[in-house]
Amino acid sequence: MDKKEVKKRIEELKKLVEYHAKKYYDEDKPEISDFEYDMLMLELSKLENENPELIVKTSLTQKVGGTVKEGFQKVEHEVPLQSLQDVFNFAEIENFVQRIEKQTLENGIEQPKYVVETKIDGLSAAIEYIDGKLVRGATRGNGLVGEDVTENLKTIKTIPKELPEKINMIVRGEVFISKRDFDKMNQEREKNDEELFANARNAAAGSLRQLDSNITKKRPLDMYIFNVQKIEGKEFNSHYEELEYLKEIGFNVNPVHIYCKNKEEILNAINKIGKDREKLTFGIDGAVVKVDDLELREKIGTTSKFPKWAIAYKYPPERKETVLKDIICQVGRTGVITPMAILEPVKVAGSTISKTTLHNEDFIKEKDLKIGDKVIIQKAGDVIPEIVKAVVSKRTGEELDYEMPRICPVCGAEAVREPGEAAIRCTGTECPAKLYRNLVHFVSREAMNIDGLGENIIGILLEKQMIANIADIYTLTFEDFASLKKNGNKFAQNLVDSINASKQNDLYRLITALGIRQVGVKASKILAKKFNNIDKLAKASSVELSYLDEIGPVVANNIREFFMQEQTMDLISKLKKAGVNTKRLEADTEDNRFEGKTFVLTGALEKYTRDEASKIIEEFGGKTSGSVSKKTSYVLAGEDAGSKLAKAEKLGITVITEEEFEEMCK
């Protein structure tokens, strides 16, 4: 390539790595594998090294990726949390050792020693102790400034809150989720038809970077400490000595740290970790080689991004070839139809893989997958099996194209893909695959508000085959409910009373309960007010619906398609026969003090979560928005409010505190 082409390619690569670094570090939603990202960084680094005049300080080869998430307080790291230089072959490890040994001779120091550790696949963080008590914890961020996640780190049981010695120190480690716990989390999310975590690293990062520590508390986070950043009143000669001390005072130290005396032992240690990686309880993405002597480290020094005394060897993902035998579809509890690849069983990274998700029809088209293809599979982050590509060169012509169904494979109702969405959903209201979730929603507080009929009871009713659709709730008797519990008469009577009371609910509650996509309480009230009864709503055209406030063309289309389904009209007919009200009652006296007002929430709120504040605003008829504009009425600002506050002040928007917000709500 000539200079012009090189410069163009460098600019392309910088944009690519910046985009993917943002997805990885800031949003915890990577779009490419770690290996693919590493290869982009490697190409960029190589081109920059060959053309040093094109290197700029803002390139991610020169700084640590990551920014501070809005809502967190910023923490300036007393000792920078640097990244590591990645290498991908043993020749580069040998070059590293030769460079260290040369510098050792120049400094008159004996043969250097090393420690080889696992490179844990998680989120790096630093914890500060004063007089032996945990006072602050922060994410790495950009290495110089991180996010204050003290309360979240305190929820991790393996992190000592108080040390046996009254000492001032800062330690650094990696927050992660074990392979077993990650599998359990994803199994639970799959059961609840929630989006699966892509890998354990991003699940851990997303869990630690929650604004609500109660959410973090529910996640199975762990942390291994691997470094002393700073300590007062104690001196150590070696890194290995530091690790032993950390273990003594109660820290959960990286369990794999191998002491090495020379290049051969280093390479053997890396090979051993690579061989044993599938046996480890936690995910890794490499092995780290560190100079053990702390005095020598000081003399070797660092760059703006990396310590020169350490290097990270990245293991290539293990890939295997197999056959894509078939594609089948599963229907989740929200009606999402997900294609699954049925594979010729093959062993990858220690486990036998016979099936994997294909996510959606876009994924199948992007990968150009056909039934009968030979495909390459790997485990993303050593955990989730995924198809990397089809081996097009091995096609025989007998492979079959695959089209996603437009009819639900479970109930036969129409399956649709909404504009802007990747998922195809079953529209059937009585689809057995959706029934549990539909029932839970139908009886919920914001819908029909049937008190006492919770998830557990619904599960039992389905298991005992006492109900087969939503309307069956209204056929259940006192005796039916009493049979579910020992001495269950009071429980049964309360349920019967609650079910009977729900028959008299206003129309908007029934509309909410039907679970029309993107139609919540607010939209249901608008629809009830406009149409007065369920039959008129069922006959409304998309055009008529789309002109209503808060509805619009997309939601209007959802409503129209919902009422065009035979299953929907069958359900409404059954509900009418059961005596459920389908008409609008006399309008409730509502407090719409925020009607026509738009709020933007920014910064860390002390008394509410953002969801709680938003709910209060909506209950009073107001709206919330994610961005500040001239149409914004108020900006509710918590601590460390950032760019949104600045923009509000520039536009002259009224900024209110939590105290002022509370006064407005009285």
Active site residues: 119
DSSP state of 350: T
Total count of residues recorded for the chain: 666
The whole-angstrom separation of Cα 127 and Cα 160 is 10
Structure tokens that stand for 105 in this block: 């001779």
The whole-angstrom separation of Cα 602 and Cα 637 is 5
User: Residue 375's closest CA among 362, 392, 361?
Assistant: 392
Structure tokens that stand for 144 in this block: 């110089």
* Cα dihedral value 25, 30, 36, 38, nearest 10: 10
Q: What is the CA radius of gyration of the chain?
A: 30
The whole-angstrom separation of Cα 584 and Cα 571 is 19
User: Residue 137's closest CA among 148, 123, 129?
Assistant: 148
Residues with Cβ < 8 Å from 86, sequence gap 6 or more? 38, 41, 42, 286, 311, 312, 313, 314
Q: Cβ distance 130 to 264 under 8 Å?
A: no
On the 0-12 / 13-18 / 19+ scale of CB atoms within 10 A, 492 is buried
The whole-angstrom separation of Cα 396 and Cα 507 is 59
| DSSP per-residue letters across 88-115 | -SHHHHHHHHHHHHHHHHHTTPPSP-EE
C-alpha distances out from residue 55 to 42, 45, 49, 305, 371, Å: 14, 9, 8, 14, 47
Q: Cβ distance 554 to 418 under 8 Å?
A: yes
The set of long-range contacts for 240-244, using a CB threshold of 8 Å and a minimum separation of 24, is: 240/113, 240/115, 240/292, 242/294, 243/115
Strands (E), 393-440: 415-417, 424-426
- Which residue type sits at 526? I
On the 0-12 / 13-18 / 19+ scale of CB atoms within 10 A, 504 is exposed
Structure tokens that stand for 55 in this block: 């290197």
The whole-angstrom separation of Cα 321 and Cα 348 is 10
CA atoms within 13 A on the CB side of 612: 11
Considering only the C-alpha atoms of the chain, give the largest distance between any 2 of them, rounded to a whole number of Å: 94
- Which residue type sits at 211? L
Q: Cβ distance 458 to 434 under 8 Å?
A: no
Say which residue the tokens 């300590």 belong to.
231
